[in-house]
A and B are shown apart, each in its own frame.
Chain A
Amino acid sequence: MSSLSYAAPATVDEAIGLLAGASGLAKVLSGGTDLLVQLRSGRTRPALIVDTKKIPGIIGIREVDGGFVIGAATSGAMIGEHAALAAVYPGVVEATNLIGSTQVQGRASLAGNLCNASPAADSVPAMIAAGATAVIAGPKGRRTVPVEQVVTGPGRTSLARDEFIVEFHLPKRAPRSADAYLRFIPRTEMDIAVVGAGVNVTLDAAGVCTAARVSLGAVAPTALLVADCAAALVGSKLDEHALAKLDLAARDACKPIDDKRGTIDFRIKVAGVLARRAAAIAFERAAARS
C-alpha cells in the first residue's frame, strides 16, 4: 500500500525546501476542497502534502498602497466578510463567494481555485478582469505574474514543482471603477460554471468607458482575457451597439468543448449573454462609485 506524508511548515522557505526535496509527487494544500476530493477519488496520489496554512500571512487581507493583498489561503468566507474589499472589488468577491456552499466557503481559497486549474474556476475570470497578480515564491525568491499567466491548461500551471503562490495583489482603483462576475449554472448553487464572465471597467465623469478588462471562464482550456471584448466597451456608455459588439467578441473568443455540462453551441451563446449582463452590472456599479 502507498503511503502519504503530511507537513505543515511554518515558513515559506521551509515549504519550498519540502517541495524541492520530495521524492514523489508533492501537492500544496490550502483549503483542500479540491485536493481532498481528488485524493479520495484516487485522481491524484501524492507522496507528500505540504499544508501552507501555518505560514504567517498566508491567511488574511491587507490594504496596501490603496490596493489589496490577499493571502493565498484566505478563505472565501473571510473574503466575503471584508467590507472594504467588497466595496472596491465587488466582482472578485462575488465570484469567490459563488464557490461551493457555506461549508466550502469556510475553506476554499483563491490559490486553490487558481492552481486547481479548472477552466471553470469561478474566481479566476474575476481576478483576471480585475488585473490581479499572483506572488509566487520559489528557491530563487519571489516573482509576480498576472493571474492569466498562471494556468497553462486544464490541471496544469506555470509553477515549478518547488514554487507556490503566497499572495494575490489587487491594484489601486481609479475613480469610477468597478467589476462584476456572473456565471451560468443549471441549478442555483452547488454547481460548476458552464460559462463564467468577469468584467472590470473604469468610466469617465460622463459615464464613458475609458478602460476595460473582460475575462471568460469555462469556454476554453483556460480562462480567457478577451481584448476584443474590452475594445467593444472602451469609448462607449454601453449602448446597444457596444453590447452587440461585446456579445459578438465574446462568442468569437470561445473555444469550448461539448461535455456533460453544456454543448459548444450553448456555451458560445451564453458567453455572449453573460458578458453583456456582467458589463451592465459593472457599468452600473462604476457609475455609482463617482
Chain B
Amino acid sequence: MTFIGNKSDLKVVGTRPVRPDGVDKVTGRATFGADYTMPGMLMGRVKRSPHAHARIVSIDASKALALPGVKGVVTAADFPDIPSEEAFVGEGPMNFRDLSLNCIARGKVLYEGHAVAAVCAISDEVAAAACDLIDVTYEVLPHVIDVEAAMAPDAPLLHADMFTANVTPKPEKPSNIAKKVHFTVGDVAAGFAQADVIVEGHYSTQPVHQAYIEPHACIASAGADGQCHIISSSQGHFMIRAYVAKLLGMEMSNLKVTPAEIGGGFGGKTVVYLEPLALAMARKTGRPVKMVMTREDVFRATGPTSGAVIDVKLGATKDGIITAAQAVLKYQAGAFAGSPVQPGCMCAFAMYDLKNVDVVGYDVVSNRPKVAAYRAPGAPIASFAAESAVDDLARKLGMDPIALREKNAAKAGTKTAYGVTFAEIGYEQVLAAAKNHPHWKAPLGPNQGRGIATGFWFNIGGESSASVFINEDGSVNVVSGSPDIGGSRASMAMMAAEVLGIPVEHVRPIVADTASIGFTHVTGGSRVTYATGMATVQAAENVIEQLKTRAAMIWDIPPEAVEWKDGQAVPAGANAGGFDPLPLAAIALKAAKTGGPIGAEVSLNAQGAGPGFGAHICDVEVDKETGHVTVLRYTAVQDVGRAIHPSYVEGQIQGGAVQGIGWALNEEYVYNTKGLMDNAGFLDYRVPVASDLPMIEAVMVEVPNPRHPFGVRGVGEVPIVPPMAAVANAIRGALGIRMHALPMSPPKLRAAVDSGVG
C-alpha cells in the first residue's frame, strides 16, 4: 500500500498530536539511564588515565580492595583479549578489539581519561575513594594531539601494528595513518585547465562533542545461571547486546538489554563504554552494578567527532559551470582507527553534478578519545570547507551563490563521485525554496552579513522490527526495537493509526527490550522513521488483513468480500451483503471466537532510503572590536520527504542548526602541552545557550521518497551539515574576511580583523 500523493486524504500523518512520551518527560516521571535501581545494587566507578600516552607498568588494587565496602575491581585482565575483527554494529565501522581496548586499556593508555580499571562498592563515595587507592604505575610516552603532527614520519606512534590501509605497496613502517581513501571521477587536471576561475583554501575544524544532556549510565546484573540483564541509555539496545556479548565472550541469548529513556545521543550513544565494565563486575561480585559518568568523564572519554584539516580547490568557467573539484581531508580518529573521513569524502561535493572530482581522505589516530558518530558523521566537516569554497567561487565569479548552486545542482540521474546515481532528490526544490524565502532578500545593516550553505546526507534504511497488537478492547499497541530519541514513538503510533484508520490516541507505542522484539539496528543514520516506520506500516497492514478475515468470519462471507475503510470492516460491495460496518473494537471483542489474538510482527531490511538536502541562510552581526558574532536570523530549508509529525521534524532541523552554530562559533577542545584537556565541562566547552540564538525558522520542503509508504526521508542529520559554512559565509559577508579555522571564536575573529586574514 502506498499513500504518497494523497496528502489531503491523510488524517493522522502530518498532524501534530502530543507525543506519547511527552507528559512523562515534562513531569520528571520518565526513567533515564541513571534512574534505575536494583536490589543489592553496587555503584561502580572508573579509574582513568591521567596521561595522554603511557605504558601501564603495573596496576595494584590491593589497597582499594582492602577499603571497607569495596566489592570488586576489574582490569583488562578480567576481559578476553579478543582478536581484531571488523564489526558493523553501531553507526560506523568499529573493530571489536579496538572497542575492547577502548573500554579498558591493555598495556597502554592512549588518551587522558582512558579507562584502566573499574571498581564497585556499596556506595558511590566508597567507589570514588577506592578509585583513588588503585595504584597504577605508568611509563609516560611522548604524545601527539594534532592531526598533521600525528601524520609526520617521526610522530609518536600509537599502535605498532598500524600500517596505512588502501595504499599499495603496503607501507614498510607503521604510522598513525590508519587508512587512505580516494574517490575520483573524470580528470581534475583537465577540469582545472578548462576553468576560468579557480579558488583554493586550507581549512581546519576542531573536534566537537555531541553534548547530549544525559551522561552515559547503566545498570547490569548477572544471574548465577549466567543470564544477564543490562538497562542502559543508548541509541540501540541490540547494539549494546552485540558489543557486550562479544567483549565478555557471552552468548547473546544470555543477555537481555532493556532500553532506558535516552537524554540525547546525536550518534554518541552508538558505542559502549560502561556496560561491559558494569556487567563484568556484576558477574564477578554476583550483585547488580550501576555506573554513571560525570560530565567530565563524558568529555574526557567519550565522543566527540573528528577535528580535521582540509584543502579544497574548485574551478569553474566564467558562466559558473564547476569544471573540477578537488579536496584532501585529514580526519582525527582519536586513539583508534575509524574517523568518518570516508563519508566526509563522499559528501563533500555530493550536492553537485560534476564531471571531474578527486577527493583523498586520511584516517589518522592521535592521543585523544576515540571519535564516535555525530549527526551526519564526517559530512559537516567536509562541507564547511567545500561550501566555504563554493561561496568564494560565487564571489569571484560575481554570481549569486544560489544561482551558482542551481547551475551545478545534482538531480535525479546525477551520478555521484562515489558511484551512486541519485533517484528522486529534492536539492533543486530546496534551493528554489531558499531563493524565494523573504529572508534571502531582507535588508542588512552595518557590520552585518548573510551567508548560505547547503548540505547532503545519505540517510539509511536497514534492519528493523515492529509489531502491532490489537488489544481486547480495540486499543492498539505498537512495539518496536528503536530507542526513541527524536519523537519516533509518536511517528510510529501515527503511521499505525493512519493505516488502521483510527485516532492516534488509541495507539500506544513502546520500545521493547532485546528479548521481546526482533533485531533492530541502532537509532542512527536518520533511519528510524523510514525503516522502523516501514516495518510498523507493514505490520499494521498485516493486521488489517486479519481484521478483514475476522469480519468475513463474523459475516460468513469470503475475506475478499471485505474492505477496510476508516477503521472499520465494510462489505466490499452490494454483492457482499448488506452488513453494518464492523469497527475495529467490535472485531477485537470477538477475537477469541474468530481465531484468537490479533497481531503481527514484521522484521525487514529496508532499502531505498532517500537522501536529504538542506540549505541554510544565516545573518550575523560582527562586533569588530571584540570579535563577538551575533546570529541575527537563521532559516533552515530542508527536503524532508514527508513530515509524519511536523513538530518533530522541525525540532530536528532546529536542533541540527543550533549544534552547527555552536560548532561554528565556540565549541572546541582545549589541550595543554601535556596533552590533557583543559575544558572538560560545559562552562568552558561552549555550546550555545538559548539567549545566543534567534528562533531558527525551519522550512520543510516535501519531495516524497517513493520507496516509503508515506514518502519519508530521514531528517535528523542533514540539518547539521550546512551551518558551519553558512555562518562562515555570513561572517565573510560582514567582514570581507574568509575565516578558515573553526571555531570562529572572538579571539580568532578579532585577530582576523586586525590582520585582515582569517
Contact = CB atoms under 8 A, between A and B. Distances in A.
B686 A273 contact: no
B746 interface: yes
Contacts of A87: none
A188 B691 contact: yes
A114 interface: no
Interface in B642-686: 665-666, 670, 678-679, 683-684, 686
Interface in A58-73: none
A211 to B, nearest CB: 27
Contacts of A41: 296
B686 A263 contact: no
A190 B681 CA distance: 12
Contacts of A14: none
B678 A259 contact: yes
A270 B751 CA distance: 11
A187 B692 contact: yes
Contact of A265 (B666, B689, B751): B751
A192 B684 CA distance: 8
Contact of A187 (B126, B626, B688): B688
Contacts of A155: none
B477 to A, nearest CB: 40
Nearest to B630: A188
Nearest to A41: B296
A191 B688 CA distance: 11
A259 B672 CA distance: 9
A273 B689 contact: no
Contacts of B684: 192, 260-261
Given A186-B746, A187-B689, A260-B684, A270 B666 contact: no
Interface in B420-446: none
A270 B688 contact: no
A270 B678 contact: no
Interface in A233-273: 259-263, 265-266, 269-270, 273
Contacts of A206: none
Contact of B625 (A260, A265, A273): A273
B751 A266 contact: yes
A1 interface: yes
A188 B679 contact: no
A270 B750 contact: yes
A189 interface: yes
Nearest to A274: B626
Contact of B628 (A186, A189, A265): A186
Given A266-B627, A269-B750, A270-B625, A260 B678 contact: yes
A187 B666 contact: yes
B747 A262 contact: yes
A190 B626 contact: no
B628 A184 contact: yes
B576 interface: no
Interface string B94-131: 00000000000000000000000000000001100100
Contacts of B691: 187-189
B408 interface: no
Contacts of B471: none
A187 B754 CA distance: 21
Nearest to B678: A260
A81 B678 CA distance: 37
A36 to B, nearest CB: 15
B745 interface: yes
Contacts of B678: 259-260
Contacts of B129: 1
A122 to B, nearest CB: 14
Interface string B723-758: 000000000000000000000011100110010000
Contacts of A184: 626, 628, 746
A187 B625 contact: no
Contacts of A260: 670, 678-679, 684
A190 B751 CA distance: 24
Interface residues of A, number: 21
A33 to B, nearest CB: 12
Nearest to B745: A186
Nearest to A267: B747
Contact of B689 (A188, A261, A266): A188
Interface in A70-84: none
A192 B688 CA distance: 14
A188 B692 contact: yes
A186 B666 contact: yes
Interface string A182-199: 001011111110100000
Nearest to B754: A269
A184 B678 CA distance: 20
B126 A1 contact: yes
Given A186-B746, A265-B751, A266-B750, A273 B683 contact: no
A190 B684 CA distance: 10
A188 B666 CA distance: 12
Given A270-B626, A273-B625, A186 B126 contact: no
B591 to A, nearest CB: 54
Contacts of A263: 747, 751
Contacts of A188: 689, 691-692
A51 to B, nearest CB: 22
A266 to B, nearest CB: 4
A22 B747 CA distance: 45
Q: Quick one: which of A186, A189, A190, A263 has the most chain B CB within 10 A?
A: A186
Contacts of B747: 262-263, 265-266
A266 B749 CA distance: 10
Nearest to A273: B625
Contacts of B689: 187-190
B615 to A, nearest CB: 27
A261 B746 CA distance: 10
B751 A191 contact: no
Nearest to A42: B128
A120 to B, nearest CB: 11
A263 B627 CA distance: 13
Nearest to A259: B678
A270 B684 CA distance: 19
A175 B344 CA distance: 65
A159 to B, nearest CB: 26
A189 B683 CA distance: 10
Interface in B352-391: none
Contacts of A186: 628, 665-666, 686, 745-746
A270 B691 CA distance: 22
Nearest to B683: A192
Interface string B614-643: 000000000001111000000000000000
Contact of A273 (B626, B688, B692): B626
Contacts of A190: 683, 689
A192 B683 CA distance: 8
Interface string B284-328: 000000000000100000000000000000000000000000000
A189 B682 CA distance: 12
A134 to B, nearest CB: 27
Contacts of A187: 666, 686, 688-689, 691-692
Contacts of A265: 747, 751
B685 to A, nearest CB: 9
Nearest to A40: B294
Nearest to B677: A260
Q: Quick one: which of B625, B666, B754 has the most chain A CB within 10 A?
A: B625
11 contacts: A184-B628, A186-B745, A187-B692, A188-B691, A190-B689, A191-B686, A194-B746, A259-B678, A260-B678, A265-B751, A269-B754
The 7 closest A-B pairs by CB, nearest first: A266-B747, A260-B670, A188-B691, A273-B625, A260-B679, A260-B678, A263-B747
Given A186-B686, A265-B751, A266-B747, 17 more contacts: A1-B125, A1-B126, A1-B129, A184-B746, A186-B665, A187-B688, A187-B692, A188-B691, A188-B692, A190-B683, A260-B670, A262-B746, A262-B747, A263-B747, A266-B751, A270-B625, A270-B746
Interface of A: 1, 41, 184, 186-192, 194, 259-263, 265-266, 269-270, 273
